[in-house]
Every structure is written in C-alpha cells, then in structure tokens.
Amino acid sequence: MSIMVHHLENSRSQRILWLLEELGLDYVVQRYERNRVTMLAPPELKRIHPLGKSPVIQDDQTVVAETGAIIEYLVEKADGKLGPSPHRQSVLRYRHFLHYAEGSLMPPLLLKLVLGRIPLLGKRAQKRIQPMIDVHLDFVESELSGRAWFAGDRFSAADIMMSFPLEAARSRAGLDHHRPATIAWLETIHARPAYQAALAKGGPYAYA
C-alpha cells in the first residue's frame, strides 16, 4: 500500500515528497491549496489530523504529523537509508540539524514573514529580526564551508530537513551570494533528480 502525503502548496511538506523520492518508497500525493486571503491551510486537513497542518502522512493505519517525526519514521521504514553514517560526530551533527531546522532556524524566519504583513510597525520590527537571522545564516555558512553536507561527507535526511528554511531565507531573509557555501549547497540539492521528481509530483513550489 502506498504512503499518502497530504501536501500543502509552498510548504514544509515539499521536503517529504523529496525524501520519499530519494528513498524510493511508493507514495501518492493529496494536494491542498492555501486560502488566498489568509494563506492558511484549508480546513479539510483537520479531517486527517486535529491540528490541520501539513505535512501529514498516512501509512496504512498510521498517521504521522510534524516534518521531523515524519522524516525519522520514513528513514526507519527504509532501513536507515539517508540516516547518519556510523561515526559519532556524524550522528551528533545529523541529530542536531534534524532538530535545528525547525527548532532554531525557522522561528525567526516565520516571525519576519508575519511582521512583514503588518503595515508600518511590522516593517520596522522586521529590521530587529534580521540580525537574529544573520547569526543563523552565518552559522550555516561556517558549517557548509568545512564540508559538503550538514551531517558529514555524505548526503542525508538532515540536508532534506534543512532545505526549507534555507530556501525561505534565500527568498525573503537575505541569503545571497555573500554566503557562497550555502548558495552552492542549495544549487546542488536543487539539481538532484529526486528533488526535481518531487517538484513534478508536488506542483508549483515558490522556493525552488
């Protein structure tokens, strides 16, 4: 039975499609569009999970929400493919970036997005958020300046997890050619065949 991915346009769920392509697992996509006024997910998603958020997957009778939890579930299902290498430092880096993407990097990016929708006051407040974001972007740049991938010398699910916040940062939070290692990493992942296949199945995606 194929895994069902409840996929919201221009959202974190694009990472799950990409991961499934990389793992070679069978899946089908149920697409959802955002409300054009609020940009929120449609109420139909609450029929799948009480929080009404995406991504959510259904695997037979199992429903899994939250990107990090889904990634761990799918890596385990694929017998550890795209998990960390068996070296202690790689394991620690893998675990760090799997949680860092949503726990530390994404919140200031989201805050900047929300503030940008508030006239006048929000625009001024955005200027206070950007230095916080720059600290994270400098950290990421320093990490990728020393190695090709986030967890070590090979591509892993940690790279997939880190893709969305860095794509968002490139779109609206100052990530540009002044951080060449991060830009090169983005260009490398976007060229992967599995990434392109996921785009074809997921539909339009503003951050690729």
**Which residue ranges form the domains of the chain, and what is each CATH number?**
3-82+194-202 (3.40.30.10), 88-192 (1.20.1050.10)
Rg (CA), the chain: 17
Strand ranges inside the chain, DSSP E = 3-8, 27-32, 56-59, 62-65
Q: Is 161 exposed, middle or buried (0-12, 13-18, 19+ CB in 10 A)?
A: buried
> pLDDT by residue for the chain (208 residues), tens digit each?
799 999 999 999 999 999 999 999 999 999 999 888 887 888 999 999 999 999 999 999 999 999 999 999 999 999 999 999 889 999 999 999 999 999 999 999 999 988 887 777 777 778 889 999 999 999 999 999 999 999 999 999 999 999 999 999 999 999 999 999 999 999 999 999 999 999 999 998 999 8
Rounded (5°) CA angle 123-175-111: 40
CA atoms of 64 and 46, how far apart (whole Å): 13
